[in-house]
Amino acid sequence: MFIESEKTIIKSIEKYVEPYHSISIIGMAKNAGKTTVLNTIISAHKTKRLAISSVGLDGEEIDTITNQNKPRIQVYPGMIIATTKECLDQSTITYVIHENTNIRTALGTVVICEVIRAGLILVAGPSSRNKMKKLKSIITKYEPYKILFDGALFRKSIASRELVDGIIFVTGASYSSNIDKVINDTKITIDHYSIKAVEQSLKINVKTNENNIIIFENKAIKTVTKDNIIDKEHILEQFLTEETRVLYLPRSLNEKIVEVILSNKNKLTQFKIIVQDATYILLKPQTLAKLSKIGIKISVLNPIDIIFVAYNPISPYGYSFDNNEFKSKLRAAIGFEPINVLQDLE
């Protein structure tokens, strides 16, 4: 995770994003301020060949919930856009289409275009992990300086290390009119994405067979083909013994799997679960709390790098928070300096 001294002020957003080639911007809620953050990054790199896409739809002029104006995505000549033809018809740019990706979305098939004249765009991309991986592979052929994905919290896969090098997390008053609820839920989410990497010795063992479930015992390592337990999580029970120390899951850690683990908790000591990255953890906060309470730890093969946390004290729903109070409480909760991109950066 990116952590900076409270006294350190980085004036330029370029310095934050410089080490990262592919970045996802994820919002805690609709209207949290993702588009403002995205536009700030784009504006700082006007002469660079950025590539821009989205998980689902973003960049619309009118918010469908509040019926108010939204900041739209501003792009510049030479930039690469992955969106649908239907969205391009609603954009103000002049562009040339380079290819049809054959990746289908609810808003049409995604095409790759290059901006000829600056303007405002509407971007729409796929929402599944596999389609996003395919799209990124296609975009990479155009050798962009950076790839920016406009993400969504409910589409966790866009934060995966399979897709991006780092994420920018955006929270704001639009999430709730209760400032303490915004702070608390933001901390829970940040903690979720910040799960630590597994120790190197275990990582090496997992990497040799990472497409299968692996059970590490005191003196043995067992593997189970993942197809054997799809929708049959109870099969895991036979592998959970007093000797079991680590369970590696190549797919998601879900509520059903945890039910099996909790029903066998009396057998398990010094037990650890490993997943690919935090986006594979599909558990309720209270379930995570239960695991923590009985000493079961979760680690990841590929930790997610949080570049910075941005915050927006203003809500489009007719209320706002005091900027200094919001920033101070958020800093205390997450342990590092959050950024208001409209005030803290040049």
Ranges for all domains in the chain classified under CATH 3.40.140: 200-300
Look up residue 172 and give its amino acid: G
Ranges for all domains in the chain classified under CATH 3.40.50: 13-194+304-334
13-194+304-334: CATH class: alpha beta
- Digit-coded pLDDT (tens) for 290-338: 999 999 999 999 999 999 999 999 999 999 999 999 999 999 999 999 9
Helix (H, G, I), strand (E, B) or coil at 158: helix
Torsions phi, psi of 98, nearest 5? -90, -35
- Digit-coded pLDDT (tens) for 166-205: 999 999 999 999 999 999 999 988 999 999 999 998 888 8
Kindly calculate the radius of gyration of the chain based on its CA atoms and give it in whole angstroms: 22
Angle, vertex CA 80, rays to CA 115 and CA 345, nearest 5 = 95
- Digit-coded pLDDT (tens) for 35-48: 999 999 999 999 99
Mean pLDDT rounded to a whole number for the chain: 89
Report the C-alpha gap between 287 and 64 in whole angstroms.
33
Position 155 confidence tier, pLDDT thresholds 50, 70, 90: confident
Which of 213-222, 263-272, 297-306 shows the lowest mean pLDDT across its residues? 213-222
pTM of the model: 0.86
Residue 3 pLDDT more than 60?
Answer: no
Position 1 confidence tier, pLDDT thresholds 50, 70, 90: very low
Torsions phi, psi of 56, nearest 5? 80, -150
Report the C-alpha gap between 17 and 21 in whole angstroms.
8
- Digit-coded pLDDT (tens) for 117-146: 999 999 999 988 899 999 999 999 999 999
Report the C-alpha gap between 67 and 42 in whole angstroms.
26
- Digit-coded pLDDT (tens) for 53-99: 998 765 444 444 444 455 689 999 999 999 999 999 999 999 999 99
200-300: CATH class: alpha beta
Label residue 206 left, alpha or beta by phi (over 0 means left) and psi (-120 to 50 means alpha): alpha
Torsions phi, psi of 136, nearest 5? -60, -40
Residue 111 pLDDT more than 80?
Answer: yes
